[in-house]
Amino acid sequence: MADSCRFGVNYVPSKDWLYGWVDWDASSIQRDLEAIASLGFDHVRVQCLWPYFQPNRTFVSPAMLARLGELTDIAARSGLDVVVCVLNGWMSGTYFRPAWQGESRSVFGDSDTLEAERALITAVAGALRTKGNVLGLDVANEPNAMASFVGNDVSRQQGDAWLTDMLAHCDLVMPGGFHTVGVDHVPWLRDDGPFSREVLGTTGAASTVHSWVYFTGALERYGVDGTGALHLARYLVEVARAYGTSRERPVWLQEIGVSSQWVPAADLPAFAASMLVNALAAQPWGITWWCSHDIDRSLAGFDELEYDLGLLTVDNEVKPAGAAIAAAIAAYRRGEVARPGDGTRVPLVVPAGQVPDLAFADRYFALVAAGQDPLIVREEDTVGAPVGSTAVRELVGD
C-alpha cells in the first residue's frame, strides 16, 4: 500500500470541453494545466474521444495523435504527469459511439472492433513513446457502462476476457507502464455487470474505483452528513484492495467528485475536502478528482450537474471547492492529516458469494462511526482461520 498518495484531476478543457480536440487551442490548454498545477496536483488523466481519434475502423487520426503528444509536452512543462484514457465512448453521461461501429459491432466481442481497439491503443502508445511524463494507459472510461447500449451485450466471461486482453495489449505496446481499466462503482458494488471483482483486482498495474455519492445511492441512504457518504471512497478503496492480488497492490481512486445539486453550495467545499481526507485513510495509490474545469454553459445538451463539477471555472478561477481540495492536499503533504487508529484493524469479512454492496457497507460505516479502522477481508482468504484467530489477525495486521 502507498505510504504517500499522488493527487491529480481528470482534465476537462476549459474551452470547448473535449470538442477542443478538433478546435485545438494549445495556449488555452497551457493556461489550464498551469492552473491545475498551481493547486498542488501532480498528474492529469487525459480523455481521448473515440470518434475523433478513430473515425474509421482502419484509420487513426494523425492530427489527434499529434495534439495528444503536444498536450503531454505542455503537461510536462507544467510539472504534471499524464495517464491517457484511450477507448472513450462513455463520457459525461453520453455514449460517443464511433460511427463505423454501429449497433452491429460489439465493443467486447466483434473481431473487427477488437482489432480496431488494439490498433488505437498501439497508435496512442506510439505517439507517447518518447514522453517521459506518461505514466501509462487507461484502457477506457467506465467501459461497463457501454455494455448497457444496444449491440454491446456481453457475458461476465467475455467481459473479463476483454479487459484482460486489452491490458495485455497495453503491456505489449508500452512495456512497464502503469496500465489500468477505469471502471466505475458498479462492478464493485453489484454483481450484474460485465467484469468480475476477482479479475479487476488481479489484472493491470492497479485496481481502479470511481466514487460518486449520488450515483451509488450513498447520499440517499446515509444523508449529506452521514458517515456512509463522507467515507464512501474510503470504503470502495478497501473493497478493491480486498479483491487484489495482495495487500500491496495499488488501488487508484480514479474519479471522485460532488455536485452543488447534491450538497448545498455553502457546504460543498468542506464536504469535498472531507471525502478526500477520509479516502486517504485507506492509503490509495492516488486520488484523481473529477474534474479540473467546469463545462462552458454555451455548450448545450449536458445534464445540469455536469456543468459545475470542476475545481476551476472556465476562466481558470479557483472555485471554493478547488481551494478546499488544494488546502487538504497541502496539509497532507505537511504531515498534518492523521491516519486512523493505532495500527490495530478490525476484520470485516465478506462471506463467500456475497456482494459487498451498501447493505454490507452499513457494517463498515458503523465501525468507522465508532472510531474503528475496519479492514475488509474475503471469506475465501480466511479458510481454516475463524474471524478473530491469529491467522486472520496476521492477515489484517498491517
Residue 47 maps to a domain = yes
Residues 209 and 334 reside in one and the same domain:
yes
Per-residue pLDDT at 3 = 62
Residues 258 and 360 reside in one and the same domain:
no
Residues 234 and 202 reside in one and the same domain:
yes
- Does the pTM exceed 0.85? yes
Q: Smallest Cα–Cα separation from 297: which of 317, 312, 313?
A: 313
Per-residue pLDDT at 390 = 38
Per-residue pLDDT at 289 = 98
Residues 268 and 351 reside in one and the same domain:
no
Instruction: Give percent above pLDDT 70 in the chain.
Output: 94
Decide: residue 339, CB within 10 A, 0-12 exposed, 13-18 middle, 19+ buried.
exposed
Other Cβ atoms within 10 Å of 284 Cβ, number: 30
Cell matching residue 188: 464493485
Question: Based on the structure, what is the number of domains in the chain?
Answer: 2
Q: Smallest Cα–Cα separation from 257: which of 296, 285, 221, 295?
A: 295
The Cα 251–Cα 206 span in angstroms is 5
Cell matching residue 336: 498534518
Decide: residue 225, CB within 10 A, 0-12 exposed, 13-18 middle, 19+ buried.
exposed
Residue 1 maps to a domain = no
Q: Which of 339, 367, 386 is the last residue of a domain?
A: 339
Q: Which of 339, 359, 376 is the last residue of a domain?
A: 339
Measure Cα distances from 360 to 236, 354, 356, 394 in Å: 12, 9, 5, 23
Residue 111 maps to a domain = yes
Residues 309 and 387 reside in one and the same domain:
no
Residues 369 and 329 reside in one and the same domain:
no
Q: Which of 304, 324, 339 is the last residue of a domain?
A: 339
In which domain, by residue range, is 72 found? 6-339
- Mean pLDDT for 105-114 is 95
Residues 196 and 281 reside in one and the same domain:
yes
Contact criterion met (CB below 8 Å) for 307 and 257: no
Cis peptide before 85 (omega within 30 of 0): no
Residue 286 maps to a domain = yes
What's at 58, amino acid-wise? T
At 177, which helix (H) or strand (E)? Answer: none
Contact criterion met (CB below 8 Å) for 253 and 289: no
Among the ranges given (1-5, 184-188, 201-205, 323-327), the one the predictor scored with the smallest mean pLDDT: 1-5
Per-residue pLDDT at 396 = 43
Residues 287 and 391 reside in one and the same domain:
no
- Mean pLDDT for 374-379 is 96
Residues 200 and 135 reside in one and the same domain:
yes
The Cα 224–Cα 232 span in angstroms is 12
Residue whose entry in the numeric block shows the C-alpha cell 489550464:
32
Decide: residue 141, CB within 10 A, 0-12 exposed, 13-18 middle, 19+ buried.
buried
Instruction: Give percent above pLDDT 90 in the chain.
Output: 88
Upper half-sphere CA count for residue 145 (Cβ side, 13 Å): 21
Per-residue pLDDT at 172 = 98
Per-residue pLDDT at 341 = 57
Per-residue pLDDT at 389 = 41
Residues 80 and 228 reside in one and the same domain:
yes
Cell matching residue 45: 488523466
397: confidence class by pLDDT, cuts 50, 70, 90:
very low
Other Cβ atoms within 10 Å of 397 Cβ, number: 12
- Mean pLDDT for 294-307 is 95
- Mean pLDDT for 351-373 is 97
CA 225, 229, 230, 231 torsion: positive or negative? positive
- Mean pLDDT for 293-319 is 96
Cell matching residue 80: 504534471
Decide: residue 101, CB within 10 A, 0-12 exposed, 13-18 middle, 19+ buried.
buried
The Cα 397–Cα 179 span in angstroms is 29
Per-residue pLDDT at 137 = 98
What's at 150, amino acid-wise? V
Per-residue pLDDT at 104 = 87
Per-residue pLDDT at 381 = 84
Contact criterion met (CB below 8 Å) for 340 and 281: yes
Residues 222 and 294 reside in one and the same domain:
yes
Per-residue pLDDT at 394 = 42
Q: Is pLDDT above 80 for 382?
A: no
- Mean pLDDT for 384-391 is 44
Per-residue pLDDT at 387 = 46
